[in-house]
Amino acid sequence: MVFVAPRDAVHTKIMSNIEEVRARGGQVIAVVTEGDTEITSIVDYAVAIPETLDMLTPILTSVPLQLFAYYVAVRRGCNVDQPRNLAKSVTVE
Model confidence band, residue 93 (pLDDT cutoffs 50, 70, 90): low
Question: Other C-beta atoms within 10 Å of 47: how many?
Answer: 18
The confidence score (pLDDT) of residue 74 equals 93
Domain-embedded: residue 88: no
Asked if the model's pLDDT at residue 88 lies above 70, the reply is no
**71: pLDDT strictly greater than 80:** yes
Q: In this model, does residue 90 exceed pLDDT 70?
A: no
d(CA 67, CA 49): 14
Which range of residues forms the domain containing residue 69?
2-76
Give me the phi and psi of 57, to 5 degrees please.
Answer: -55, -45
pLDDT band at 31 (very low <50, low <70, confident <90, very high): very high
In a domain, residue 81? The reply is no
Count of domains observed in the chain: 1
- 59 in any annotated domain: yes
Distance CA 89, CA 91 (A): 7
